[in-house]
């Protein structure tokens, strides 16, 4: 385990360029995935091959940083090969850890690469001390990425009773369903985060005009309706507008992004080891700006200084310009 | 012989309505195994807990296997304590969360559909832990189900009737829709024994909300797939309780499983029981879950 006196900043890299940008901007750790269904951001034009990962690891290690690899989808029956190869490749490229969700893969990684750190993905939805202890005792995980449905006091309570590091989400897009257990995307499109590594894939998204309104659609389903001068959010199923009892509303969650910058001291006090920024699908420029701002705020926090400009930058970069503390906030449930 | 099971009741019914449904199942339904216990919201079970012993007794006396299911999402100490108590009971337990699996390790148990079993390695692991029956997730294609059922050394169960559970959250959408706080919800979910309809802005139905759970609007109806699933080695066929007459639903499925009724005729009979609710079978056909394909 590294000795980290402050909150470790774990940043997304959808591309080798974004990896270098994140490192240069002050990421302690960068996470990425391979260019296939083995990772939960399996979008066109993203991700790494073995050569790119090896180069990325060299770049990070030369600067004392980490690269960890998300292999966090659930292998298909009869076709586990790509997932095993992904773990083997991550190990061979010198990755500092793999992020896994599937029980069979955790078992494989532990037996085949016992010295490669194993992080439990948020996709495993380990939401209580018993589950986390089970993964630790059975598969020797070093860290758990906590589900995005816990309040700060619940995070603190959980951490006080677990024997592995805790990583929590601090910024970016968040769903409202327990990760790894949501099939709304595949119900509508046939493709899901668990199996295919995609939620609401872009090829199913289209917009159509309906009189004075524009409708955003996912497959054959209308997800939202906007006035022509209104900004349309990406039609993610858990942020669509639905009608219940004749009332149209964002039943699950408004189209907002998570921004936990205002509660970093509380998260640190709760015993959090690492903060994760979501967004491997985002641009290199976005990654650079968010990481720079977080680095500034965290360094300020370590010295007891406030950094209002960096905080303002993060507010401005939240999804759709709207942000939330999501489940961290009391009363969210 | 293929077994017919009744999965845990996902909805919040009045305690007496719940009890009476199970009494009828005990007395009249050709069902081999019944799953009891709360899967969705830990606040609900105390409301009907006192009825459980007599339900268990009536079902057992009728020769049905009785299984106690556990919550799909466990976060609080109170929930952990309740799960520990449940897993300590002599009855067979269905684990719907990894916490329950860790408590049941080394003892015969059943893993529920909320455990992500997508491949052989995970299945093998669960069997080594003591699973004697494995429920497969609703999202799997027929090909994946067949691969896993053939591979599985123990029993395999698949949901073949009822609304499909699609997601679980900490947030209660029923409370949200009715404008109350989850902590003081007054059990508004009891208003909707068939779930709360959630439609698209066009008015077309899409989902059903059941507390923290989101379900398909359509009923999964896999009558046409039963023979293929039987051949592949699926041993247990789960009916998920809905407001439809579950005794008659069970009779139709039993007849089709036994080859006494063809699937199309079974579907026609089923439509008489299920009103206007559409049917879905997309997942098993390897398509979007909400699709319905007749061929």
Cα–Cα distance measured from residue A270 to residue A171, given in angstroms and rounded to the nearest whole number: 17
- CB pair distance less than 8 Å for B170 and A149: yes
On whether both A241 and A282 belong to a single domain, the answer is no
Question: CATH number of the domain at B3-164+217-280, please?
Answer: 3.20.20.70
Chain A CA closest to residue B284: A190
Best of B288, B290, B291, B292 to disrupt the A interface by mutation (most A CBs within 10 Å)? Answer: B288
Domain end among A228, A249, A270: A249
- On whether both A103 and A203 belong to a single domain, the answer is no
Question: What is the predicted pLDDT for the residue at A321?
Answer: 67
Q: Give chain A positions within 8 Å (CB) of B167.
A: 177-178, 181-184, 238
Q: Give yes or no: residues A21 and A74 share one domain.
A: yes
Encode B37-57: b = buried (16+ Cβ within 10 Å), e = exposed.
Answer: bbbbbbbbbebbeebbeebbe
Locate the chain B residue with the closest alpha carbon to A134. Answer: B102
* A293 in the same domain as A191: no
Q: Which domain holds residue A201?
A: 184-249
Q: Check whether residue A106 and residue A138 sit in a common domain.
A: yes
Tell me the chain A residues in contact with residue B183 when contact means C-beta distances shorter than 8 Å: 333
In a domain, A285, yes or no: yes
Task: Please tell me whether residues A101 and A77 are part of one structural domain.
Answer: yes
> Given CB atoms, is A179 within the 8 Å cutoff of chain B?
no
Asked if A194 and B73 come within 8 Å (Cβ–Cβ), the reply is: no
Same domain, A229 and A166: no
User: What is the largest distance, in Å, between two alpha-carbon atoms of chain B?
Assistant: 51
pLDDT digits (tens, 9 = 90+) for B203-241: 999 999 999 999 999 999 999 999 999 999 999 999 999
H or E stretch including A222? strand A221-227
β-bridge partners, A238: none
Minimal Cβ distance to B201: which of A108, A222, A245: A222
One domain for residues A192 and A321:
no
Classified as helix, coil or strand, A206 is: strand
What residues contact residue B256 under an 8 Å CB cut-off, 6+ apart? B223, B226, B262, B263, B266
Task: Collect all residues with Cβ–Cβ distance below 8 Å to A316 and sequence separation of at least 6.
Answer: none
Minimal Cβ distance to B98: which of A131, A251, A327: A131
Determine the residue of chain A that is closest to B216 in CA distance: A187
Contacts of B262-266 spanning 24+ positions with Cβ under 8 A: B263/B223, B263/B224, B263/B226, B263/B227, B264/B224, B266/B223
Element (H, E) at A293: helix A284-303
Token couple for A79: 């076709």
Closest chain B C-alpha to A100 CA, distance in angstroms: 13
Q: Do B168 and A249 touch (CB under 8 A)?
A: no
Q: What is the pLDDT of residues A39-66, one digit of tens each?
A: 878 888 889 999 999 999 999 999 999 9
Indicate whether A202 and A306 sit together in one domain.
no
Nearest CA-CA distance, residue B246 and chain A, Å: 25
pLDDT in tens, A1-13: 343 458 999 999 9
Q: Could you tell me if residue A144 is inside a domain? A: yes
Please name the residue ranges forming H helices in chain B.
Answer: 15-28, 45-48, 52-61, 77-88, 98-104, 120-129, 142-151, 173-178, 226-232, 246-257, 263-274
Which residues lie across from A8 on neighbouring strands?
A: A274
CA distances in angstroms from B68 to A164, A218, B97, listed in the order given:
31, 38, 13
**pLDDT tens-place values along chain B, 295 residues long:** 899 999 999 999 999 999 999 999 999 999 999 999 999 999 998 999 999 999 999 999 999 999 999 999 999 999 999 999 988 888 999 999 999 999 999 999 999 999 999 999 999 999 999 999 999 999 999 999 999 999 999 999 999 999 999 999 999 999 999 999 999 999 999 999 999 999 999 999 999 999 999 999 999 999 999 999 999 999 999 999 999 999 999 999 999 999 999 999 999 999 999 999 999 999 999 999 999 998 7
Which among A78, A127, A333 has CB closest to B74? Answer: A127
Count of domains in chain A? 2
A147, A212: one domain: no
Q: Does A135 reach chain B within 8 Å, measured CB to CB?
A: yes
- Classify residue A68: in a domain, yes or no: yes
Question: Which residue among B73, B200, B203 sits closest to A178, beta carbon to beta carbon?
Answer: B73
Integer-rounded Cα Rg, in Å, for chain B is 18
Whether residues A228 and A98 share a domain: the answer is no
Judging contacts by C-beta atoms under 8 Å, the chain A residues touching residue B80 are 128-130
Of the two residues A323 and A71, the one the predictor is more confident about is A71
* B80 neighbors A130 (Cβ within 8 angstroms): yes
Contacts A135 to B, Cβ<8 Å: 98
Q: What angle (nearest 5°) sits at the alpha carbon of residue B27, between those of residues B21 and B32?
A: 90
Q: B237 in helix, strand or coil?
A: strand
- Which pLDDT score, from 0 to 100, does residue B159 have? 98
Contact between A130 and B101 using a beta-carbon 8 Å cutoff: no
pLDDT digits (tens, 9 = 90+) for A199-240: 999 999 999 988 888 999 999 999 999 988 888 889 999 999
Note whether residue A3 is domain-resident: no
* CB nearest A75 (choices: B118, B282, B288): B118
- Nearest residue on chain A to B79, alpha-carbon basis: A128
- CATH number for the domain that contains residue A69: 3.20.20.60
Three-state SS letters, A233-280: CCCCHHHCCEEECCEEECCCCCCCEEECHHHHHHHHHCCCCEEEECCC
Residues A157 and A281 occupy one common structural domain: yes
A244 touches chain B (CB under 8 A): yes
Residue A209 is predicted with a pLDDT of 87
């Amino acid at each position: 385990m590294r000795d980290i006196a402050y909150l470790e900043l774990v940043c997304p890299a959808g591309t080798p360029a974004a990896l270098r940008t994140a490192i240069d901007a002050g990421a302690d750790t960068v996470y990425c995935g391979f260019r296939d269904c083995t990772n939960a951001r399996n979008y066109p034009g993203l991700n790494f091959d073995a050569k790119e990962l090896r180069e990325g690891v060299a770049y990070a290690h030369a600067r004392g940083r980490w690269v960890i690899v998300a292999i966090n989808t659930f292998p298909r029956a009869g076709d586990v090969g790509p997932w095993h190869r992904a773990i083997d490749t991550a190990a061979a490229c010198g990755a500092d850890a793999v992020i896994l969700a599937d029980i069979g893969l955790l078992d494989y990684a532990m037996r085949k690469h016992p010295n490669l750190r194993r992080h439990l993905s948020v996709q495993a939805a380990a939401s209580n001390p018993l589950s986390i202890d089970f993964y630790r005792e059975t598969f020797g995980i070093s860290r758990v990425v906590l589900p995005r449905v816990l309040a700060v006091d619940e995070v603190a309570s959980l951490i006080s009773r677990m024997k592995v590091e805790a990583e929590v989400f601090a910024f970016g897009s968040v769903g409202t369903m327990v990760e790894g257990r949501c099939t709304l995307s595949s119900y509508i499109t046939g493709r899901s985060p668990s199996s295919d590594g995609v939620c609401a894939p872009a090829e199913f998204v289209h917009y159509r005009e309906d009189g004075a309104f524009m409708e955003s659609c996912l497959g054959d389903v209308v997800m939202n309706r906007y006035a022509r001068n209104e900004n349309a959010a990406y039609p993610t199923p858990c942020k669509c507008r639905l009608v219940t009892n004749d009332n149209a509303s964002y039943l699950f969650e408004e189209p907002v992004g998570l921004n936990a910058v205002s509660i970093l001291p509380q998260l640190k006090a709760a015993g959090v080891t690492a903060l994760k920024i979501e967004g491997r699908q985002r641009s290199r420029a976005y990654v650079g700006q968010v990481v720079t701002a977080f680095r500034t705020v965290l360094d300020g926090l370590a010295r007891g200084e406030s950094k209002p400009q960096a905080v303002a930058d993060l507010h401005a970069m939240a999804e759709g310009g709207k942000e939330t503390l999501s489940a961290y906030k009391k009363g969210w449930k | 012989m293929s077994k017919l099971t009744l999965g845990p009741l996902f909805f919040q019914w009045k305690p007496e309505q719940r009890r009476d449904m199970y009494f009828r199942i005990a007395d009249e339904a050709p069902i081999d195994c019944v799953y009891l216990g709360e899967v969705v919201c830990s606040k609900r079970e105390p409301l009907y807990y006192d009825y459980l012993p007599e339900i268990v007794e009536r079902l057992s006396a009728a020769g049905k296997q009785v299984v106690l299911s556990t919550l799909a999402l466990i976060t609080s100490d109170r929930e952990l304590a309740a799960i520990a108590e449940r897993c300590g009971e002599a009855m067979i337990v269905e684990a719907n969360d990894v916490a329950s699996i860790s408590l049941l390790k080394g003892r015969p148990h059943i893993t529920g559909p909320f455990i992500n079993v997508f491949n052989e390695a995970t299945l093998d692991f669960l069997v080594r832990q003591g699973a004697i029956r494995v429920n497969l997730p609703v999202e799997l294609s027929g090909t994946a189900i067949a691969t896993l059922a053939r591979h599985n050394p123990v029993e395999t169960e698949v949901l073949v009737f009822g609304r499909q559970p699609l997601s679980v959250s900490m947030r209660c959408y029923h409370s949200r829709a009715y404008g109350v706080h989850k902590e003081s919800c007054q059990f508004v979910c009891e208003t909707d024994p068939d779930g709360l309809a959630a439609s698209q802005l066009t008015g077309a139905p899409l989902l059903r909300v059941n507390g923290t759970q989101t379900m398909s609007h359509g009923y999964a109806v896999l009558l046409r797939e039963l023979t293929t699933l039987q051949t592949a080695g699926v041993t247990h066929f789960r009916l998920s309780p809905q407001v439809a007459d579950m005794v008659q639903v069970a009779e139709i499925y039993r007849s089709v499983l036994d080859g006494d009724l063809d699937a199309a005729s079974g579907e026609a009979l089923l439509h008489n029981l299920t009103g206007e609710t559409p049917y879905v079978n997309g997942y098993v056909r390897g398509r979007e879950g909400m699709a319905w394909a007749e061929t």
